[in-house]
């Protein structure tokens, strides 16, 4: 949805609601704004109270109409934390987060619908209930799901404001000589392949910090801290600096895979202040077996 602001001083969320067809609520649009789905004059704005100026061009990325037949499935989940508002799941490699073309069953959403008896936030539509952020199919590890819209809006804003600390482990090709580094480079979709994200001056601001854990003769094991959370951010940034993630079928398709079925990338820890209770939520997961098995095949420097 796109429109131009009429007059100055109107709140962004109010202006979007007035420009819509009445199908959605103000809280729905507040969630989209907090999630980074709204731009003003081409720049992402995450503050609902942002004041528009006459002629501002507003674009709202509304999730496409979805398959309403997403069924609950009794799929075992590794749940590391749960309360009345949210839960933290340790997602296995190979599990798709939400239904999409070619993946209508066996997703994390199917499992969550069964586990939570359908009591999940619906701000992101029926195809992505409870999903406030996601990790790729072949990326394993910790992620948050939410059970109600109030918590969804708060968590989305916390993520947009960088108040959720997310640390990853990644095994990358080649030997990185410096112990620490930061990749500060905007990311956007590749023109020739819409599946890929590439560094692009017109992309969204993206910052990844990394620190070397171990060096091997053919690879480097890294800890990475996300300052932003763009699609494929780690995979794209590591490829950009010449050290793509080991096993990545999209960013390093012709490299040695060491028997991996996807990229060697794990969401290892997550930390934030609970949006409703004020309690510190902090969890770390062990490296999964697939990651350990690859490390055992390598020779330490």
- The residues assigned a catalytic role are 136
Question: What is the per-residue DSSP string for the chain?
Answer: -EEE--SSS-BHHHHHHHHS-SSS-HHHHHHHHHTT-EEETTEE---TTPBP-TT-EEEE-PPPP--TTPPP------EEEE-SSEEEEEEPTT--SS-BTTB-SS-HHHHHHHHTTT----TT-TTSTTBSS---TT-EEEEEEESSHHHHHHHHHHHHTT-SEEEEEEEEES---SSEEEEE--EEE-SS-TT-EEE-TTSB--EEEEEEEEEBSSEEEEEEEESS--TTHHHHHHHHTT-PBTT-TTTSTTS--TT-SS--EEEEEEEEE-TTT--EEEEE-PPPHHHHHHHHTS-B-
* Alpha-carbon gap, residue 207 to 123, rounded angstroms: 27
Residue where the block lists tokens 């103000």: 26
For residue 238 the two structure tokens come to 């590591």
- How many angstroms separate the CA atoms of 281 and 275, rounded? 10
Spacing of C-alpha 291 from chain mean position: 21
């Amino acid at each position: 949805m796109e429109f131009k602001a009429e007059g100055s001083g109107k709140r962004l969320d109010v202006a979007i609601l007035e420009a819509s067809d009445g199908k959605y609520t103000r809280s729905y649009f507040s969630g989209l704004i907090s999630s980074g789905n709204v731009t003003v004059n081409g720049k992402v704005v995450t503050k609902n109270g942002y004041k528009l100026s006459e002629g501002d061009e507003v674009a709202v990325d509304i999730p496409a109409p979805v398959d309403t037949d997403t069924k609950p499935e009794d799929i075992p989940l590794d749940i590391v934390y749960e309360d009345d508002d949210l839960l933290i799941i340790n997602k296995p490699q190979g599990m798709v987060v939400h239904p999409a073309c070619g993946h209508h069953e066996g997703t994390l959403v199917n499992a969550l619908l069964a586990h939570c008896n359908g009591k999940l936030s619906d701000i992101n539509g029926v195809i992505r209930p409870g999903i406030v952020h996601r990790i790729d199919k072949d990326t394993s590890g910790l992620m948050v799901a939410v059970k109600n819209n109030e918590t969804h809006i708060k968590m989305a804003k916390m993520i947009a404001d960088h108040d959720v600390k997310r640390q990853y482990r990644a095994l990358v090709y080649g030997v990185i000589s410096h112990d620490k580094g930061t990749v500060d480079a905007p990311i956007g979709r590749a023109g020739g392949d819409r599946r890929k994200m590439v560094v692009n001056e017109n992309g969204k601001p993206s910052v990844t910090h990394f620190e070397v854990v171990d060096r091997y003769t053919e690879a480097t094991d890294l800890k990475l801290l996300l300052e932003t959370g763009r699609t494929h951010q780690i995979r794209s940034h590591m490829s950009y600096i010449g050290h793509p993630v080991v096993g990545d079928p999209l960013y390093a398709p012709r490299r040695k895979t060491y028997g991996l079925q996807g990229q060697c990338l794990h969401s290892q820890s997550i930390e934030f202040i609970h949006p409703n209770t004020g309690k510190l939520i902090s969890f770390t997961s062990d490296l999964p077996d697939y990651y350990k098995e690859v490390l055992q095949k390598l020779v330490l420097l």
